[in-house]
Amino acid sequence: MIQSEMILELEFVTQLQTLGYELLNIHKEEDFIANFKKQIEKFNTKELNNTALSDKEFQKILNHLNKGNRFQKASNLRDRFLLTRDDETKIYIRFLNTAKWCQNCYQVARQIRIKGAYGNRYDVTLLINGLPLVQIELKKRGMELKEAFNQINRYRIHSYPNTLFEHIQIFVISNGVNTKYFANNPDQNFEKTFFWTDERNNKISNLSEFTDIFLEPCHLSKIISKYIVLSENKMMPMILRPYQYYAVEKIIERAENSSENGYIWHTTGSGKTLTSFKASQVLKDMPDIKKVLFIVDRKDLDAQTVEEFNKFAPGSVDSTENTKTLVNQLKDKDVKLIVTTIQKLDLAVTNKKRIEIIKRVKEKIIEFGAVFERW
């Protein structure tokens, strides 16, 4: 007997509840907005001093969240909003705890109806602090995943614009047997949807197993907080594939727990720049890391790498042959990320005038080699 889509959905929602998601019995847009107000007050209770937001104050928050494109909304989600209250006092409103990602509020809703250019009803929505950050589209067993993918694209065109659903970070599509995930960006195509895997690259395609691992609340908010890259070059959010996620996790583990070297292998075309970009970003933000040196061969320091890293950390890339800038960056405590070439670093470390500076820096370095071969 073929499992119906409705049975699949009900079993899925029940499983999410066992993982800690609160089930919301809401279907209308006005109820969804009311729940968001309640959740954002709860999440910011300390800042609000246990007082409720007035309608005027809440509208300011909605106006802030509804500004900009999806990229800007993804950025606002991770930032704070300076709210001027009715009594003219100012407080910062947070939408997501990205530092302590497990300390967020998780809810699940099914069959929410949003009326845009066309009315749509979404299968399952995961809300974090009242915001819809994950959308799951289910199809009965035997149906092609591409049908679910195409349906989500219709949602993005017909009913997401000018609603809080533009804050969705991750989409999940499944027919129970096969399950894939992808980021919410406007240039998405089906080839950019991914299966999750374990550390040994074993595919996790069954919805139930995927739910226990990927959609577990702490893991999901960790992915959203740390492993979505906001690419300013492409003006879109990008999500890491599983092997990129595990590579960055291993680098972090080695940096935190050991002074030994580490090596990551990547095959050509597997997203080396994105992996290194995210690894550098995560390491840079760790309090115990003094500096991150991203070292490449001169021929690999292409325009894309320069642009991406400079947008992430302005001035971090200096592609000239002069070593003075590099040495100044090494001395400057405020410069946490340096992107340079191995040729320039070689010139700097062999310069007798600067040998003491380089020696002091070298004592604090943990090295990582990136070997871009087949993994």
Architecture of the domain delimited by 242-371: 3-Layer(aba) Sandwich (3.40)
- What are the DSSP calls for 118-173, one per residue? SEEEEEEEEEETTEEEEEEEE--TTS-HHHHHHHHHHHHHHT-TTSGGGG--EEEE
Which residues are 204's β-sheet partners? 196
pLDDT above 60 (res 365) = no
pLDDT value at position 42? 96
pLDDT digits (tens, 9 = 90+) for 245-258: 999 999 888 888 87
Q: Which fold has domain 5-44+100-238?
A: tt1808, chain A (3.90.1570)
CA atoms within 13 A on the CB side of 159: 15
Of the listed ranges 143-147, 192-196, 206-210, 278-282, the one predicted with least confidence? 278-282
pLDDT digits (tens, 9 = 90+) for 31-68: 999 999 999 999 999 999 989 999 999 999 999 999 98
As given in the structure block, the two tokens for residue 306 are 């320069």
Average pLDDT over residues 109-126: 80
Distances (CA, A) of 239 to 45, 163, 277, 280, 312: 31, 22, 12, 16, 16
Average pLDDT over residues 280-301: 77
- Specify the pairing of strand 170-174 against strand 22-24: unpaired
Q: What angle do CA 193, 197, 200 make, to 5 degrees?
A: 140
pLDDT value at position 372? 40
Give the residue, 367 or 192, on which the prediction is more confident: 192
Give the residue, 221 or 235, on which the prediction is more confident: 221
Give the residue, 304 or 223, on which the prediction is more confident: 223
Place of tokens 């291993």: 250
pLDDT above 80 (res 356) = no
Average pLDDT over residues 269-294: 81
Distances (CA, A) of 173 to 24, 139, 363, 366: 21, 8, 48, 40
- Delimiting residues of CATH 3.40.50.300 domain(s) in the chain: 242-371
pLDDT value at position 374? 35
- Delimiting residues of CATH 3.90.1570.50 domain(s) in the chain: 5-44+100-238
Alpha-carbon distance 353 to 287, whole Å?
A: 31
This prediction's pTM: 0.87
pLDDT above 80 (res 152) = yes
Please state the φ and ψ torsions of residue 85, each to the nearest 5 degrees: -80, 170
